[in-house]
Amino acid sequence: MENKTITSILVCLLFATNIIAQHWEVSQMSPMPERVSNNAVVEGFVDGVPYVYSFAGIDSTKIYSGIHLKSYRYNTVSDTWETIAPLPDTLGKIAAGASRIDDIIYIIGGYHVFSDQHEISSNRVHRYHTQTNTYLADGAPIPVSIDDQVQAVWRDSLIYVVTGWSDTGNVPDVQIYNPSEDSWSAGTPVPTNPFFRAFGASGTIIGDTIYYFGGAWDGGAFTILKYLRIGAINPDNPTEIEWSNSVIDLSVEGYRMAATNVGDRIYWLGGSGVTYNFDGIGYASGLGVEPLNRSLYYDPETTDWSADFSNDIPMDLRGIGNINDTVQYIVGGMMSEQSVTNQTLKLEWQSFPVSIKTPIQPSIEYTIYPNPASDKIQIELAKWDGKEIHFRIFDNEGRLHFEKRLTQKECTIDVKYLLSGIYHLELNKENSVIASQQLVIEK
């Protein structure tokens, strides 16, 4: 099919001395087999090919009987969808979360809706193996049944399930799943006030810090929340979290957005500015809710932010296919007039063109191996003075494919999403290139 390409520029104008611009390119790819919303979405890799997965959700009827367990996967290379086995549950569900660690996807929680409209949160942990395209036996059930939770992975080892809704209300629980041990532990709960407890919020983990934004609290007509919550994880004891909050701007809010990051910067994509039930009807107004069509950018280091409304990005999102730092996929969701969509949107973050140059006198000693590489590379700095160093990977056209802020002398980088070819590695310190070299990717 011919791709429809839309380009947008995000420009930060408020409280910034310098203009910060990010360039998103959004393309419509082959549509899903059917329309679905409130589906759990995540990425996976099979023999080096990136896939996007969709689990369960609600169909275009937007009624309780349209909530299902149907699941699909999308091959990003061939631009094709296929149906996979449905989630191994007894009832259809929505508002689950999906996270991947290595070759296994964990689909956690969600809720079931019955004919009398009552709802029950799920405690199931479904495990799907990307290499065999099959479900494993369920993992240990989550201690507190949950749906519409914030869900994110820490250091490719633990899954944090933060706040959310459990049967009758928002809960402050932070539940931490250890896949290698198939066990749960309790993290420091979020404060028990409406600024932190939320359902329909979304977030990510950068380094050792949890960031989540928006959502609704369980008082009155489910008021939408404007707060950015920050949880500092103690790396020596990951159950210990120090919680704080802030407001990006009093005019900024969001509900059921997709959350992702580009390097150390966070994007909340799509969503709505009004809270609503599973049918897209506002809790307070009883009227249909419209999507924001917004890309919200936030830099935790500088607290700069910006918002762009030029692209049609759905609401009712429960995840994103994070192929790499600069390529994301949004599948399904609700568009204008609460229309359930089968769109597959590819979002590519573009940096402005750069020239790749090797410093005449490199100012740092480092080792990067293996090279050629296919799966992971290791970066080792001979010395590090504690000052911020950014590691970046560019292709031959100057497009940024990966960025990470180094916080220690040794770091492992996942490169299995990169296609075969020659790339450029760059170490940048205080806005100056201090080292660069070629990287060969072989599949």
Beta carbons within 8 Å of 150's beta carbon, 6+ residues apart: 97, 160, 161, 162, 163, 164, 198, 201, 202, 203, 210, 212, 215
> Which two three-digit tokens encode residue 114?
């019955």
How far is Cα 404 from Cα 349, in angstroms, rounded to an integer? 15
pLDDT at 363: 64
Count the helix, strand and coil residues of the chain and give each as a percent rounded to the nearest 5: 0, 50, 50
pLDDT at 442: 87
Using the structure block, give the residue that is written with the tokens 């169909």: 59
pLDDT at 397: 66
How far is Cα 433 from Cα 399, in angstroms, rounded to an integer? 16
Q: Mean pLDDT, 10 residues at a time, over the chain (443 residues)?
A: 32 29 77 98 95 98 98 98 98 98 98 96 98 98 98 98 97 98 98 93 97 92 94 98 93 95 91 97 96 92 83 95 92 98 92 48 77 89 79 75 76 78 84 84 83
pLDDT at 325: 80
pLDDT at 422: 87
Q: Which of 380, 389, 377 is nearest to 423 (CA)?
A: 377
Give all domains of the chain, ordered by start, each with its CATH number. 4-350 (2.120.10.80), 366-441 (2.60.40.10)
Q: Which of 196, 201, 202 is nearest to 241 (CA)?
A: 196
Reduce the DSSP state of residue 337 to 3 states and report it: helix
Contact 340, 331 (CB under 8 A): no
pLDDT at 1: 33
Q: What is the 3-state secondary structure (H, E, C) of 208-268?
A: CEEEEECCECCCCCCCECCEEEEEEEECCEEEEEEEEEEECCCCCCCECCEEEEECCEEEE
Using the structure block, give the residue that is written with the tokens 């009398």: 116
Cis? peptide before 191, omega within 30° of 0: no
pLDDT at 13: 27
pLDDT at 418: 76
Cβ-based neighbour number of residue 168 at 10 Å: 9
How far is Cα 225 from Cα 257, in angstroms, rounded to an integer? 13
